[in-house]
Chains A and B, each alone.
Chain A
Amino acid sequence: MSISPEQVLKVSRLARLELSDDELATMTAQLSQVVDYVDQLSELNTDDVVPMAHALDLTNVFVVDQVAESLERSQALANAPHADGECYLVPAVMGD
């Protein structure tokens, strides 16, 4: 395995995903397989290659600073799992 279960667990915490023990085992095996495959990229010498983050070379796309209408609050909150008509509600955020 190129990735350990401990690493997978750590990544799952970073990704805010809860994994069952079974899922952790499967995930460890599957991610290892994919990462091993991906490791073929290391064969290539890319020292002088400029990374390509965008498919299209565009720059300076701007809009004018002009206020447009916002959503009605009822629309904004319409999809919220839990709201009180004014705000979104979440379990109490403590310690911050």
Chain B
Amino acid sequence: MSLFDLTACEQLAELASGRTTSVELTQACLAQIDAHDSQVGAFLHVDRAGALAAAERIDARRQAGQALGQLAGLPVAVKDVLCTQGMPTTCGSRMLEHFRPPYNATVVDRLHTADAVLIGKTNMDEFAMGGSTENSAFQATHNPWALDHTAGGSSGGAAACVAAGMVNLSIGSDTGGSIRQPAAHCGVTGLKPSYGRVSRYGLVAFASSLDQVGPLARTAEDVALLLGAVAGHDPRDSTSANRPADEYLAQIAQPLTGLRLGVVREHFAEGLDPAVQRSVREALTVYKSLGAQVSEISLPHSKYAVATYYVIAPSEASSNLARYDGVHYGYRTDEQAMLTELESQRARLEAAGDEQGLAELDSALVRMYRRSRAEGFGPEVKRRIMLGTYALSAGYYDAYYLKALKVRRLIRQDYDAAFRDVDLLVGPVSPTPAFRLGELTDDPLSMYLVDLYTASANLAGVAGLSLPCGQSNGLPIGLQLQAPPFAEARLLRAAHMFQQATDWHAQRPALCSSS
């Protein structure tokens, strides 16, 4: 059996017994990246030297009999939305192309503390805005199952690198479905933790009240392993929950007896691809065979989730992204060219005696801001900044932003009511399997609707998990499980039960076996 066939948990056992080393694992990852990433485009930055050096250090410590962290020697990929000290952190944006943070995100610190090997930074939609990873300023990520399809997004690189066997453990972020949807499209397991479960410190903010960092891996066990290493209270994040993380991995094999699953009625409405529908129904049969009670349940306001989400997320984003102005860091327009142009404009207006034009002419500073932001941001980011600025602006605040906050409360109340009757909610992750690259790029609204089943978990702050439950035309299909806040352990146990009974999670794309 090659290293490539092992899960992270199995690799830990191999490392502990001395049958392999962290350097060997890291080299195997790098070899897989070398073999396939030119086609997949999962990584924006591979820290070859740093990863090997870290692996050597960990191997040496193991040799010396020193105590090691819970991920000791395992390579981990990190979405390029998390700050890594001295290493590029671009967020998929031209704006941060040359940015090197002077500090680490808490999650990155915890990975180091757990003795993980940080192998590189994965591709993403710019500032995590998108559902296809086509909005990256640097490259599109291709789906390892079908290279002409998207990997989903925004954590497309994070999901694709796992699917392509480049790494077993991967960190993503999820604001409206950005872990779960690419996990579904790439046939891997991904968890969006409850809001407050994982620190946001050092996570480049998209929509602060919705953003969560979470793990992706092939199996629920590996997801539990990685979550256990990064979850927990962080005093540097005011919105972090002050309660200890559970023993996710230790508990995962305990079966859930009398599990009550609620099938979300609204998630089987029009627009759901029949193949996805079929796979989800089959998954329910599997759960029934495992002793679960399945009942139908309603989240009456879920049809408003996308509309609510596309007010709140852009509003917060417009404020969070105001900082990218080319003054203290990040992209700045060519100042000389800008000043020269501004002067000639002024001269023209003066010659024409255009008082109005002169009054409206930008100052050098304002022009620098506007030009730097126009050149540094891609179209989707600009759209969301515009949308958010509009929703927060005078005269629209109550009708859009405040209204959305109220509907958000109704969505949360739906969940509270549902979880009084069932333990977990179950349904599809995405209405369709992965779509083709370029298919939705000119149609923002359709792209937004891919968040239909996922955005409400972020609005409500509950936990959500995506796991492979079928395939259609060679493309994976994901099953979504949702749990009440801080019931990640329950979510992972339920996912593990399913994976013990099925082998969808063990399927590998053809691309992998060609190595």
- A residues with a Cβ closer than 8 A to B are 3, 7-8, 11-19, 23, 27, 30-31, 33-35, 37-38, 40-42, 44, 46, 49-56, 58, 61, 63, 71, 75-76, 78-82, 88, 90-95
Contacts and interface: CB of A to CB of B under 8 A. Distances in A.
Interface string B442-467: 00110010000000001111000000
B421 interface: no
Interface stretch (B213-221, B360-368, B473-481, B500-508): B360-368
A65 to B, nearest CB: 14
A12 B367 CA distance: 12
Contacts of A37: 306-307, 310, 445, 448
Contacts of A49: 406-407, 409-410
A46 B371 contact: no
B348 to A, nearest CB: 18
B485 interface: yes
A59 to B, nearest CB: 10
A15 B389 contact: yes
A79 B329 contact: yes
A42 B399 contact: yes
Contacts of B445: 30, 33-34, 37
B410 A46 contact: yes
Nearest to B237: A61
Given A56-B461, A91-B339, A31 B405 contact: no
Contacts of B379: 23
Q: Is the interface of B mostly helix, strand, loop or mixed?
A: helix
B15 interface: no
Interface residues of B, number: 74
Given A16-B369, A17-B370, A31-B387, A52 B408 contact: yes
A55 B458 contact: yes
B386 interface: yes
Given A51-B402, A91-B339, A94-B363, A44 B99 contact: no
A91 B405 contact: no
Contacts of B194: 56
A56 B366 CA distance: 37
Contacts of A95: 363
Nearest to B98: A79
A90 B307 contact: no
B458 A19 contact: no
Contacts of B332: 81-82
Contact of A14 (B301, B330, B363, B393): B393
A52 B405 contact: yes
Contacts of B241: 56, 58
Contacts of B328: 79-80, 88
Nearest to B311: A38
B374 interface: yes
Given A42-B399, A90-B368, A58 B238 contact: yes
Interface string B390-430: 10010000011011111111101000000000000000000
Contact of B385 (A17, A34, A75): A17
A16 B325 contact: yes
A51 B307 contact: no
